[in-house]
Amino acid sequence: MWGITMKNDKASEFSLLKKLPPWARRKYFLVKLEFGARQFTIKDLENFFEERFKQTGNEEFLIKNVGELVAVLSRAGLIKERSDPYDSRRKIYQLVFPEFKAENLNDVLFFLFDHLRVSLNVHDSEKLLLTMLFYKTMSDRWHAFINEHKNSGIHEHEIYLSANEQVLRLYDPENKELLTWKSVVSSKQNINETLAHAFERIAELNLDRGLGGLTHIVNIIYQLDPQKLTQIIEILDLYDLSFYHPKEIGRFYRDFLDTTASFGGKYQGEFLTSRSLRTLLSRLLHIKNNSVVLDPAIGTGSLLIEIALHSSSPGRLLLLGVDTKNWAVTLAAMNALVSGIPNYTFKIGDSLLGTPVEDLLEKFGLTKADYVVVDPPWNLVVSGEVAAVGKNLPYLLDRDNLPSWRSADWLWVQLAAFYSKIKAAVVLHPGALSRSGAEKEIRKTLLSMDIIEAVIQLPQKLLQWTSISPIILVINKEKPKVLHRKVLMINVTEGIEEISRRLIQLKQETIDQIVSTYTSYKEIEGFSRIVSLEELAENDYNLSPQLYVFKRESSKIDTRKLLSALKELLEEDEKLSKEAIVLAEKILEAENR
């Protein structure tokens, strides 16, 4: 039935789940959720299923023969057993895989990714798998919601509508059609057509949630052989993803994006902010509760989502995002939903026009966000539409100096500064800090406004798509007095670990040091320094940290060599002195004649 195998098959939970009949698979996940790493007996299992059925009335807790379930799980290798030391007739059991870890899904997804790349290109393989994982996750959560409420006395139709709003719209009330994974899998129709239809309707029903780009997947589905698509469905169907915590699934989702980006070349890398950078930016901004956070170049959404998850209450934030690409908006929306982020609105548009950002803010009665974070494409050539607006772009802080349309770097900085009430962080190409002309004048303007708080230079090879060292520029509208007319410069040259020959990441202690230095405004020789506006002006408003922060070369002194050299000098001096005396005596003797 499967027709495909995985490496290290015996060691994976995935391979063992394949051996279970569907009824036992669901019961296995229920047992795993209840007992985890705890030991149990058959009597414990009987009590668990009986009590849960009495409490909930849910038929999934009905089981005729617990002993049969234990036998099936034991034969599959999913539980281990030993004799009770106090009663040799009784067995004690324990799960082999006691935790719901998304890492257990890693082998599965990357196996499917490699399997798909035989038939599809890298980008389409990634798109399809991310969408299928999203679809399976949200469908399982939808059905879990239904199971939880179906004995509440509320009409089934009303529960479906409630699940639509609480989880995702996977029920079409107009056509009274279920669009969940389970309904698609159980359909007797052509699997490609059934799945394509489901995605088209889900996209239509969830346009306001940014899922319009799901229609892009339809063409990919039709490219696949039905047998191969069936294999993917059968493998993912082994897991009930409603049991996995949203943070766990979300982290796994982003890890998969991080890894597949390395296959996708420059474009795919620019689409994604690296993991080290996401962690650092999350901690630098330190978002307050009940804040509005905007990313005007949202890409995969990973940066914005991790910033939210780093806050104390992600559910109390409003996340806003804009991107020119329809698929980027949908990918970011899927990323947010699997991560359990409920309050987001992402839309298609060119943020550099200003109006898409303002329209999005206006939807919530706002003119600015509390925080803005953006990792935009470097040296982006602006669109003709943006160039046509020119000096009338609404967010310009320096209308007298328009940067070259061949590089939008300082448009992004001004946009972030203008639309943020508290703080903004922008990832830049290092060249943006020292270029002359209009860009120099814009730097001068922002420095005179005293809103540039810090500039952080990071090591080379931190990004997947370039070896150039990235810069973080921090704007702070609530800048502390200690930095009045000053800028904190941080130059990070050490504290890294290699991932590969072309890629590094920051060590945790390095991130800790950057954040600690930033929050305490500490000066550390060779690492950080507070630079006055006057000194910046003397250097032509160059904001490159390496110009102001560097390690002084300290050479070790070889004492023996030094003493030897001194001895030679003294001996030479003594020799010269003797020669001088002899010469003086000869001169004196000649004069006396």
pLDDT tens per residue, range 65-75: 999 999 999 99
Q: What are phi and psi of 84, to 5 degrees?
A: -70, 125
CA angle at residue 335 from 98 to 382, to 5 degrees?
155
> In angstroms, rounded to a whole number, what is the distance separating the alpha carbons of residues 423 and 474?
7
Predicted pLDDT at 39? 93
Q: Among 471, 508, 467, which residue's Cα sits nearest to residue 489?
A: 471
Calculate the alpha carbon distances from 454 to 115, 119, 304, 473, 530 in Å: 46, 48, 20, 6, 9
Q: What are phi and psi of 497, to 5 degrees?
A: -135, 140
DSSP 289: T
Residue range 532-552, pLDDT digits in tens: 999 999 999 999 999 999 876
Enumerate residue ranges in the chain where pLDDT < 50. Answer: 1-10, 265-270
Compute the distance between CA of residue 185 and CA of residue 396 in angstroms, rounded to an integer.
53
DSSP 376: P
Q: For residue 65, what are the CA distances in angstroms to 49, 58, 68, 70?
A: 11, 17, 5, 9
**Alpha helices for 206-291 (secondary structure H):** 216-223, 226-236, 246-261, 265-270, 275-285
The length of the chain is 593
- Phi, psi dihedrals of residue 197, rounded to the nearest 5°: -60, -45
Closest CA to 336 of 317, 361, 363: 317
pLDDT over 70 percentage in the chain: 88
CB 81 within 8 A of CB 92: yes
Could you tell me where the beta strands, DSSP code E, fall in 418-470?
420-428, 452-457
Tell me how far apart the terminal alpha carbons of the chain are, to the nearest angstrom: 124
**pTM (predicted TM-score):** 0.81
CA dist 148 and 393 (Å) reads 51
